[in-house]
Amino acid sequence: MAAKSALMTVMQRAAQKAARALRRDFNDVEYLQVSRKGPADFVSQADKNAENILKDELTYARPDFGWLGEETGGALSDTGSQWIVDPLDGTTNFLHGQPHFAISIAVQTDGILQAGLVYDPIKDEMFCAERGQGATLNNRPLRSSGRDYLPDCLIAVGAPFKGHGDWESFSRRTHRVVSETSGIRRFGAASLDLAYVAAGRVDAFFEDYLKPWDVAAGVLLVTEARGTVSAISGKPFDLASGDVLAANDALHPSLVKLLNS
Mind listing the domains of the chain with CATH numbers? Answer: 6-141 (3.30.540.10), 150-259 (3.40.190.80)
When pLDDT is cut at 50, 70 and 90, the band that residue 32 belongs to is low
Q: Which residues contact 43 (CB under 8 A, 6 or more apart)?
A: 25, 29, 88, 91, 94, 95
Q: What's the rounded Cα separation, in Å, for the pair 60 and 133?
A: 25
Q: In whole angstroms, what is the distance from residue 184 CA to residue 205 CA?
A: 9
**Residues 36, 126: Cα–Cα separation, whole Å:** 36
Contacts of 140 (CB under 8 A, 6+ apart): none
CA distance 231 to 152: 23
Instruction: Return the CA Rg of the chain.
Output: 18
Contact 194, 212 (CB under 8 A): no
pTM for the structure as a whole: 0.93
Q: Is 41 exposed, middle or buried (0-12, 13-18, 19+ CB in 10 A)?
A: exposed
Q: Is the pLDDT of residue 2 over 70?
A: no
Write out pLDDT tens, residues 118-175. Answer: 999 999 999 999 999 999 999 999 999 999 999 999 999 998 776 677 788 888 889 9
Q: pLDDT exceeding 70 applies to what percent of the chain?
A: 93
Q: Which residues contact 186 (CB under 8 A, 6 or more apart)?
A: 156, 157, 158, 159
Instruction: State phi, psi for 78 to the nearest 5 degrees.
Output: -100, 5
